[in-house]
Amino acid sequence: MAVSLKKGQRVSLEKVAPGLSEAFIGLGWDVKSTDTGHSFDLDASVFLLGADEKLISDNHFIFYNNPTSPDPDKSVQHMGDNLTGAGEGDDEVLKVNLKKVPANVQQIIIAVTIHEAEERRQSFGQVDNAFVRLVDAQTKEEAIRYDLTEDYSIETALVMAELYRKDGEWRLNAVGSGYQGGLKALLARYSN
């Protein structure tokens, strides 16, 4: 049975999924029936941060054009870009091998942005049923789920969740923070 989190809640992965080594992180959303004249293209991305809460390098920004982390084990992988978000279930998936993430990675920020949001006059206010879920890759069991319920009427980027190390173990924080300025705003926040 999955643990359901609310905004700001944190949980130890060892407590909810003992022995978890590899996880799929599924992100999903539905577009409201408002017509902006353009299709919605939401993109998942990952920021691998060091102890200073900044990107370790440009290669530690994982997205559809840089789908694997730079470590030899490729411990974090983006599994592909969904251009429409159509259909049920996960729209985009990330794969994280928690046992192989290099020690210098202290936080894994999981974000979703709207492609060309300003040009298309789109925001997360036109998106419904956004969620992030963590699934044990071995058992295929959903361990944690966070359904976003806030109305993000002007935001074009969302930090959905973060995985972070504390006391030698991985924890998950249901962040749910919205930003204006899309991906550029997130890159500015996490870059040195």
Domain boundaries, the chain: 3-190
- CA pair distance 144, 11, nearest whole angstrom: 9
> Does 6 have pLDDT greater than 80?
yes
Asked if residues 153 and 123 have their Cβ atoms less than 8 Å apart, the reply is: yes
Mean pLDDT of the chain: 89
Correct CATH for 3-190 of 3.40.50.11540, 3.40.50.1220, 2.60.60.30, 1.50.10.100? 2.60.60.30
The model's confidence at residue 83, banded by pLDDT at 50, 70 and 90, is very low
CB-side exposure of 167: number of CA atoms within 13 Å? 5
What are the helix and strand counts (H, E) for the chain? 3, 12
Of all residues in the chain, what percent carry a pLDDT higher than 70? 93
Average pLDDT over residues 15-31: 90
> Does 87 have pLDDT greater than 90?
no
Average pLDDT over residues 155-174: 93
Asked if residues 97 and 108 have their Cβ atoms less than 8 Å apart, the reply is: no
- CA pair distance 55, 23, nearest whole angstrom: 22
> pLDDT (tens digit, 9 = 90+) per residue, 66-79?
999 999 999 999 99
The separation between the first and the last C-alpha atoms of the chain, rounded to the nearest angstrom, is 40
> pLDDT (tens digit, 9 = 90+) per residue, 112-162?
998 888 888 888 888 888 889 999 999 999 999 998 887 777 888 999 999
Average pLDDT over residues 6-29: 92
Residue 85's pLDDT is 45
Which SS3 state, helix, strand or coil, does residue 149 take?
coil
- CA pair distance 107, 125, nearest whole angstrom: 28
> Does 35 have pLDDT greater than 70?
no
Question: In this structure, which amino acid lies at residue 176?
Answer: G
Which SS3 state, helix, strand or coil, does residue 110 take?
strand
* Largest pairwise CA distance in the chain: 49
> Does 20 have pLDDT greater than 70?
yes
Which residues are CB-neighbours of 65 under 8 A, at least 6 positions away?
A: none
The structure's pTM equals 0.90
The model's confidence at residue 36, banded by pLDDT at 50, 70 and 90, is low
Both tokens assigned to 46: 């990952």
Average pLDDT over residues 18-30: 90
Lowest mean pLDDT among 16-25, 58-67, 83-92, 99-108: 83-92
More confident residue, 177 or 90: 177
Question: In this structure, which amino acid lies at residue 43?
Answer: D
